[in-house]
Amino acid sequence: MSEIDVEAVESVTPTVDAPEYVLYGGKGGVGKTTMAAATALSSAREGTATLCVSTDPAHSLSDALGREVPATPGRIDDEHPLYGAEIDPDNLEGGPFGGAGADGAGGMGGMGGLGELLGGENPMQPGSMPGADEAAAFQLLLQYMDDDRFERVVVDTAPTGHTLRLLELPDVMDSMVGKLLSLRERMSGMMGSITGMFGGDGPSEAEMEQGMDSLRDLSAKVERLRGVLTDPAKTDFRVVMIPESMSVTESKRLVSQLGEFNIPVGTVVVNRVMQPLTDVADTDAEWFVAPDLNNCEFCQRRWEVQRGALSEAQELFRGHDVKRVPLFAQEVHGEAPLRVVAACLD
């Protein structure tokens, strides 16, 4: 019998079974960033050009990956095709939400854009109205999904409320386009006399039409992104939770809300489970310290709470792939622990 070579966990690369787009969502603080970083890192190590992008305003992707992640997509690993971006909606430039586009022409907020159409103020500028930051993140997400450099996009989404507002954007855009088209039809004939009466220049007919074209174009792009997000062959929205009853209930509500948007939830990840690593993944790590469920009374009581929540989760999420990730004794930062997390998600 030939000798079998066994690789140490540090050199094992889990296989990523995932579609083109993987989005991790859930309440704040449950570990979405860790899951996204682990999936993206493992995917890139397989040779798949992967972008890991965070839409959470409170970014921690750089901390999780242990390397600087830029505000726009850039390669963050010299050996593997791993790219990263931490979207900052307060510093967006160019495109439909910013000022001048890449070609110097006005975007929705520049001359000839939506800002001119509405009298010089762009309601879609980040921070100008509730949901504008999510809209800005949505537009950039669409741009990154269309980028030929990336074969897979892994998204660390903002906490649940922000994400749901982002997913509502297509309906908001449909309503906005309809209302503005109606407004334009009613006011176009009056615009010249009104601006002349008050001595203002106002937007020209051409500028108004350019603004409407920008809005129609954005609406079409948002609709296309919705098509991608609702296609289970292309997208897996993974809900992350912790093994506590309240988190289970909140996750059930999120899965239901995502269902209303026709967003496919293929995977539910239960993070910080007080079990030995070998119980939840086909791997081992000498440095992993498991909770002492035999001699530690505190550990035993917490495990009883978790067991109840896990049982509830298994029952509620029948039909979904429920993964468990163990509780680590230290913070999950850097490549070694992220590869262990990836093995749990395999």
| DSSP code for 76 | -
d(CA 157, CA 238): 10
pTM over 0.85? The answer is no
What is the pLDDT, as a whole number, of residue 184? Answer: 67
What is the pLDDT, as a whole number, of residue 221? Answer: 75
Spatial CB neighbours of 204, under 8 Å, sequence gap ≥ 6: none
Residue 124: which of 110, 112, 114 has the closest Cα? 114
- CB burial class (10 A; 0-12, 13-18, 19+) of residue 77? middle
- With beta carbons less than 8 A apart as the criterion, state whether 184 and 208 touch: yes
What is the pLDDT, as a whole number, of residue 14? Answer: 57
What is the pLDDT, as a whole number, of residue 238? Answer: 95
Token pair 């950039």 in the structure block, residue = 140
- With beta carbons less than 8 A apart as the criterion, state whether 222 and 131 touch: no
Residue 272: which of 321, 325, 309, 322 has the closest Cα? 325
Rg over CA atoms, the chain? 24
* Dihedral pair phi/psi, residue 121, rounded to 5°: -120, 125
What is the pLDDT, as a whole number, of residue 202? Answer: 56
- Along the chain (346 residues), what's the average pLDDT of each consecutive run of 10 residues? 37 62 91 96 96 85 93 93 85 46 38 44 46 64 84 86 68 69 64 52 67 75 80 92 96 91 91 92 83 94 96 93 93 92 93
* Dihedral pair phi/psi, residue 328, rounded to 5°: -95, 145
Which residue ranges form the domains of the chain, and what is each CATH number?
Answer: 12-345 (3.40.50.300)
What is the pLDDT, as a whole number, of residue 249? Answer: 94
What is the pLDDT, as a whole number, of residue 5? Answer: 36
The total of other beta-carbon atoms located within 10 Å of residue 3's CB is: 5
Q: Which two tokens stand for residue 311?
A: 């049982």
**DSSP H stretches of helix in 47-168:** 61-65, 114-117, 132-145, 160-167
d(CA 93, CA 107): 9
Helix (H, G, I), strand (E, B) or coil at 182: helix
What does the angle CA 194 – CA 195 – CA 198 come to, to the nearest 5 degrees?
Answer: 90
* Dihedral pair phi/psi, residue 162, rounded to 5°: -65, -45
What is the pLDDT, as a whole number, of residue 285? Answer: 80
Residue 97: which of 105, 85, 87, 107 has the closest Cα? 107
How do beta strands 152-156 and 267-273 pair?
unpaired
What is the pLDDT, as a whole number, of residue 33? Answer: 95
d(CA 8, CA 5): 10
85-123 in b/e form (b: 16+ CB < 10 A) is bbbbbeebeebbbbbbbeeeebbbbbebbbbbbbeeebe
Residue 35: which of 21, 44, 18, 23 has the closest Cα? 23
Q: Point out which residues pair with 267 in neighbouring strands.
A: 238, 321
Residue 256: which of 311, 324, 248, 171 has the closest Cα? 248
